[in-house]
Amino acid sequence: MRAYVLTGPYEGSVQDVPAPTAAAGEAVIDVERVGVCGTDVEFYTGEMAYLHEGHSSYPIRLGHEWSGRVTTVGAGVDPAWVGRRVTGDTMLGDGTCRRCLRGHQHVCENRQEVGVRGGRPGALADQLAVPVSSLHRLPDTVDATLGALVEPGGNALRAVQAAQLNADDRVLILGPGTIGLLAAMFARSLGAEVHLMGRADSSLEFARELGFANSWHEDELPEVPYDAVIDASNAAALPARALDRVEPAGRLVYVGLAGEPSLIDTRDLALKDVTAVGVLSASPGIAATIQAYAEGTIDPRPLVAATVPLERVGAPLAGERPEDAGPGPKIHIDPRLGGA
């Protein structure tokens, strides 16, 4: 089968590789859609921390935001899975450690991450093999595009849940990228007043087109109280800015990661009686995200700017947008599309 293989920083190509087989407890998926994520870009540039910590190495097969259809299953798996449309959890714990046994497999020290960590191949390929225990069935109302938006949606949903918003709350979201805009959609569905802060005129204008009129450059941000601040950016300076802008007794949520250490003054955290929460992975939020998409509570499909064939994945990894791309922040790959 075809798979995109990254062999080093800025070096990758579509290669012919052995098709996966379903080991015991696993399923093979025909991949229908894959999202290109900032994590994938960091692997492409060589900046991803896992590369320097020994959790990942080249060559690597990327792709952890995906949807598809089960084609075969391994020993011990109910054959009823065959033919089902699914997406899957990125985080695969060892299933035996204290964290896994307490339901926290997404922070298992020995975890694999699909397309990210521990040598588990990702979904930028014709097919993907994963444990059936990681799969989530997609209802008919959740199409392939929505299915590949479940993973970022789960991260965003968990960030909003951590903010504990009420209908009369005002929330500030830093970074109007995919996670930030998804968080804004979930927050709006709860009745909160949503503000977004970003740097690029184009991303702020797109946020306004989605109905988020309160989208600001930093120097335009109004002096109003924010009951919660969600940092969905990759800017090292913004975690401290978030602490500065949150109301006393409010909540901070950190779901973005900078490429260098971010510093906050914990004296301000204590003296303002602020609760700060970190969010890693969609895992505990996947089922609720699928339900929200299925019910139409939010529709994130406008975030997808373009869908291109597998042979064109190198361009978005390098930061290039297709000529016919819309204004959204997300590029999707459909391995079923032909053409270079």
- Could you read off the pLDDT of 209-249 as tens digits, one per residue? 999 999 999 999 999 999 999 999 999 999 999 999 999 99
Is residue 189 over pLDDT 60?
yes
Q: What is the 3-state secondary structure (H, E, C) of the chain?
A: CEEEEEEECCEEEEEECCCCCCCCCEEEEEEEEEECCHHHHHHHHCCCHHHHHCCCCCCECCCCEEEEEEEEECCCCCHHHCCCEEEECCEECCCCCHHHHCCCHHHCCCCEECCCECCCCCCCECEEEEEHHHEEECCCCCCHHHHCCHHHHHHHHHHHHHHCCCCCCEEEEECCCHHHHHHHHHHHHCCCEEEEECCCHHHHHHHHHCCCCCEECHHHCCCCCEEEEEECCCCCCHHHHHHHHEEEEEEEEECCCCCCCCCCCHHHHHHCCCEEEECCCCHHHHHHHHHHHHHCCCCCHHHEEEEECHHHCHHHHCCCCCCCCCCCCEEEECCCCCCC
Q: What is the pLDDT of residue 340?
A: 57
pLDDT value of residue 339: 62
Average pLDDT over residues 293-320: 96
For CATH 3.40.50.720, the residue range(s) in the chain are 156-278
Q: Which residues of 211-225 are buried (b: 16+ CB within 10 A; e: fewer)?
A: ebebbbeeeebeeee
3.30.1650.10, 3.40.50.720, 3.30.470.20, 3.40.50.11540: which CATH number matches 156-278? Answer: 3.40.50.720
Mean pLDDT of 201-213: 98
Convert the pLDDT of each residue in 34-60 to its tens digit: 999 999 999 999 999 999 999 999 999
| Predicted local confidence at residue 245, as pLDDT | 98
* pLDDT-above-70 percentage for the chain: 99
Rounded distance, CA 141 to CA 194, Å? 27
pTM equals 0.96
Q: According to the model, what pLDDT value does residue 260 have?
A: 87
Q: Kindly compute the dihedral angle of the four CA atoms of residues 208, 212, 214, 220, in this order, to the nearest 10 degrees.
A: -40
Per-residue pLDDT of 74-106, as tens digits, reads 999 999 999 999 999 999 999 999 999 999 999
> Which ranges in the chain are annotated with CATH 3.90.180.10?
2-149+300-333
In angstroms, the CA 102 to CA 212 distance is 38
CA-CA distance, 110 to 7, in Å (whole number)? 24
The domain 2-149+300-333: what is its CATH number? 3.90.180.10
Nearest 5°: the CA angle 146, 207, 171 is: 95
The pLDDT score that the predictor gives to residue 3 is 98
pLDDT at 137 exceeding the cut of 70: yes
Task: Please state the rounded mean pLDDT for residues 120-139.
Answer: 98
pLDDT band per the 50, 70, 90 thresholds, residue 259: confident
Q: What is the mean pLDDT of the chain?
A: 97
